[in-house]
Amino acid sequence: MAKKNSVSLKDVAAAAGVSTSLVSFVLNGKQQQYRVNKDVAEKVKRIAKELNYKPNGLAKSLRNGSSKTIGVIVSDISNQFFADLARYIESATEEKGYMTLFASSDENAEKMAKQVERLLSKEVDGIILVPCEGSEDTVQYLINTNVPFVLLDRYFPELKTSYLCLNNTSAGHDATKALIDAGYKRITFVGYDLNLSHMIGRAAGYKEAMADNNLSQYEDIRCVDAKNVKDSCAMIVREALESGSEALVFATNTIAVNCLYYIKDQGIKIPHQLGLVGFDSDSAFDFFYAPISCIRQPLEVMANKAVDILFDNINSNNAIVQQVETQGQFVSRASSAPKK
């Protein structure tokens, strides 16, 4: 531990000439309840302060059966989208007197399972989890072992769990519809080849918008290779253009930014040669010569709500399953300006 020289309850008790129980009562504000003598209470408080007593959280947690810590597993904490969520989650949990243990899964089910184990071995009181592809078993395990948790950003329709995510279908629809309204017809959806609800939803929204506007014959979904995002994005943009695509919907901000590098390099004219809509935000969207239209997720609301749901599960011993979808907001900018 950080310091071996730390002073314990016993030390305070000895110095005050009382029992450890008294000290515990006083220092936990239960002097009323246990009718501790006023003077004794004062003395204990004074001595505790003098000795610079700091309770040992580990011992407390062990004894109380609650670590006052939650775990958060995201794909990559350095990704701006997750970093923003992390910050909001941190603030929300801190307000409740909890600490947050963050871990990254790299979209790898095995690594995610390992991170879950690591968090559980720290006896976290609950977990906020961005589940990755193929991690149903791990999620099922959490259900079986009755660990309070909430899925974030994605969920598994076949598993009855609490989750909080964007209404992805609606968002995918709005992104696509904006391009359609601007006069684009041959619109390509650029996503990951992931069998995960957020991706499926966004693609479904895209298809729906295309179909509703009699553009199904132009439906074109392309998948970025997650192992090699940069090159894969470049190739997809090139191929989409070659096949006559007039506009692209990017399913995530990482995809968008990587495609933008290629678009910028190649001098492709936005929006006249290619209309664009992205998801989330990135300063690249603002500084690209034609600012990028996008679907904004209400990150703070999402983080707060996910935390609320988690604590509901913690406090109710998972009695209620809450499945919440938030609404994205379309931000219109130059990259999806009306096609000439």
Partner DNA sequence: CTGTTAGCGCTTTCAC
Partner DNA sequence: GTGAAAGCGCTAACAG
Where on the chain is the footprint of its own copies (CB under 8 A)?
1-5, 54-59, 61-62, 65-67, 69, 76-80, 83-84, 86-87, 90, 94, 99-104, 117-126, 145-148, 257, 260-261, 264, 282-284, 286-289
Q: Toward DNA, which CB reaches closer, 12 or 112?
A: 12
d(CA 333, CA 340): 16
In degrees and rounded to multiples of 5, residue 70 shows phi and psi of: -120, 160
Task: List C-alpha distances in Å: 206 to 210, 213, 261, 306.
Answer: 6, 11, 24, 26
Is there a contact between 155 and 131 (Cβ–Cβ < 8 Å)?
yes
Between residues 28 and 216, which has the closer beta carbon with respect to DNA? 28
Binding mask 269-288 for DNA (x = CB under 7 A): --------------------
> Nearest to residue 266, comparing CAs of 283, 249, 242, 293?
242
40 counts as binding DNA under rule CB under 7 A: yes
Least distance (Å) from DNA to the CB of residue 55? Answer: 4
Least distance to DNA, CB of residue 40, Å: 4
Query: Which of the listed partners (its own copies, DNA, none) does 8 bind, with a CB threshold of 5 to 8 Å by partner kind?
Result: DNA
Residue 62 binds DNA, judged by CB under 7 A: yes
Q: Report the 10 Å Cβ neighbour count for 112.
A: 25
Least separation, in Å, of the C-beta of 8 and its own copies? Answer: 12
| Residue 276, token pair as written in the block | 């664009």
**Residue 28 contact partner, candidates its own copies, DNA, none, CB within 5 to 8 A by sort of partner:** DNA
Which of the choices its own copies, DNA, none does residue 78 contact, using the CB cut-off of 5 to 8 A by kind?
Answer: its own copies
Closest CB to its own copies among residues 218, 262? 262
Min CB(64)–DNA separation in Å: 6
What is the C-alpha end-to-end distance of the chain, expressed in Å? 67
- Tokens 């990587």, residue located: 258
Tokens of 26: 């006083």
**Which residues sit opposite 128 in a β-bridge?**
72, 150
* Three-state DSSP class for residue 269: coil
Of 63, 160, 227, 340, which lies in the binding site for DNA, with binding defined by CB under 7 A? 63
| DSSP letter (8 states) at residue 216 | G
Q: Which tokens sit at 160?
A: 């009855």
Minimum distance between the CB of residue 23 and DNA, rounded to whole angstroms?
7
Q: For 223, how many CA atoms within 13 A lie in the half-sphere containing its CB?
A: 10
From its own copies, DNA, none, which one binds at residue 287 (CB under 5 to 8 Å depending on kind)? its own copies
C-alpha 238, offset from chain centre:
32
Instruction: Pick the binder of DNA from 46, 49, 60, 269 (CB under 7 A).
Output: 60
Is residue 10 within the footprint of DNA (CB under 7 A)? yes
Considering the rule CB under 7 A, would residue 27 count as an interface residue with DNA? yes
Structure tokens belonging to residue 178: 């904006």
Distance CA 270, CA 259 (A): 12
The reply to whether 20 sits near DNA by the rule CB under 7 A is: yes
Q: Is 64 in the site for DNA (CB under 7 A)?
A: yes
Query: What pairs with residue 104 in β-bridges?
Result: 74
- How many distinct helices (H) and strands (E) make up the chain? 13, 12
CA dist., res. 287 & res. 289, Å (int): 6
Residue 129 Cβ, how far from its own copies at the closest point, in Å? Answer: 13
- Which of 42, 49, 59, 78 contacts DNA by CB under 7 A? 59
Q: Which of its own copies, DNA, none lies near 124, with the C-beta cut-off 5 to 8 A by kind?
A: its own copies
Residues at the contact surface with DNA, assessed by CB under 7 A: 6, 8-10, 17-22, 24-25, 27-28, 30, 34-38, 40, 53, 55-56, 59-60, 62-65
